[in-house]
A = this chain, B = another copy of it.
Amino acid sequence: MLDCIIVGSGLAGISAALTLQSNRKEFLLFGSPSLSEKIEKAEKIHNYPGLSDVSGKEFCAALKAQLDEAKIEIKNEKVAGVYALKEKFSILTQEGNTYESRTIILACGVESIRLIDGETEFLGRGVSYCATCDGFLYKGKTIAVVCTTKRLEHEIGYLADFAEKVYLIPMYKDVEIDRDNVTIIKKMPQKIQGKLRVESLAFAAPPSEDIPKDLSVNGVFMLRESVAPSVLVGGLETKDGHVVVQRDMSTNLPGCFAAGDCTGRPYQYTKAAGEGNIAAHSVSEYLK
């Protein structure tokens, strides 16, 4: 069994990984080969000690080189769920693999986009975060897909293979997908509605002439770079969307630690790196 699984390859996750590697722990770092969209897209970083006025791209390149040197690989799978079992965690990925670990460090960031009304309420009852997990359920049906990043555009194609009709609400520019059964809506929905299950998506006003204010759909997929920690880990204590942590980065679940933006403001690289470092030390202490 692994000593630790780190969820997220932003600064908190990278920092935790570097320290766990120094401490000779067996771990996996789940994330994206390009590390973090947030870092990559930063124009200039002014207040990260040791790097003067570095661009996001330069910072990313330095971090990648450092991970390579430290022989740390990034496991490019999306974590779909974390289950706290007796003295261990079971991690399920959207790729369908299961991993077991004695501890976990959540470094999954925060989504700056607010949840849509009804999203949490209908989770598992028509709302899904995972195209590859739940796509087949919507064969021949009508779905809406809210997608926050171009990186996940391939998942829309996957959904369009099953669904008869896809309404895509992209939160990014340069939409490239071109499928007959995909209609693009450039307005944000306000609310997911239904009784037992999702029945429709409500907009403030009709998004276009052809599309009504209340759009009938069988399901809503929310494709985001990261899933809210409270959704990812059952029983995890959160407050105002942030994981509640102690000074040692421990959460309410023994063996589960959190670091970086997901623990709250300030949303800063230096803070995230510091917390990743502390979390890694706490994991080492915990494993004793």
Supposing A245-B247, A247-B247 touch, asked if A49 and B273 sit within 8 A by C-beta, the answer is: yes
Chain B nearest CB, measured from A144 CB (Å): 38
Is A51's CB within 8 Å of the partner chain B?
A: yes
Which residues of B sit under 8 angstroms from A50, Cβ to Cβ?
Answer: 48, 50-51, 54, 59, 62-63, 66, 273
Which residues of B sit under 8 angstroms from A266, Cβ to Cβ?
Answer: 277-278, 281
Is A275's CB within 8 Å of the partner chain B?
A: yes
CA distance A70 to B47 in the complex (A): 9
Is A272's CB within 8 Å of the partner chain B?
A: yes
Contact residues, A32-77 vs B (CB, 8 A): 46-54, 59, 62-63, 65-66, 69-70
Closest residue to A272 on the B side, CB-wise? B274
Is A14's CB within 8 Å of the partner chain B?
A: yes
A18 contacts B49, C-beta separation under 8 Å: yes
Is A265's CB within 8 Å of the partner chain B?
A: yes
0 or 1 for each of A262-285: is its CB under 8 Å from B? (1 = yes): 001110101111111110010000
Contact of A273 among B22, B46, B247, B273 (CB under 8 A): B273
B14 contacts A49, C-beta separation under 8 Å: yes
Contact residues, A227-286 vs B (CB, 8 A): 245-247, 264-266, 268, 270-278, 281
Closest residue to A282 on the B side, CB-wise? B266
Contact residues, A2-51 vs B (CB, 8 A): 11, 14-15, 18-19, 21-22, 46-51
Q: Could you list which residues of chain A lie within 8 angstroms of chain B, going by C-beta atoms?
A: 11, 14-15, 18-19, 21-22, 46-54, 59, 62-63, 65-66, 69-70, 245-247, 264-266, 268, 270-278, 281
**CB-based closest 8 A-B pairs:** A274-B274, A270-B277, A18-B47, A266-B281, A52-B66, A19-B47, A271-B277, A15-B49
Q: Can you list 30 A-B contacts (CB < 8 A)?
A: A11-B49, A15-B47, A18-B46, A18-B47, A18-B48, A18-B49, A21-B47, A47-B277, A48-B50, A48-B273, A49-B66, A49-B276, A50-B54, A50-B63, A50-B66, A52-B62, A52-B65, A246-B247, A247-B264, A266-B278, A266-B281, A268-B277, A268-B281, A270-B273, A270-B274, A270-B276, A271-B277, A271-B278, A273-B274, A274-B278
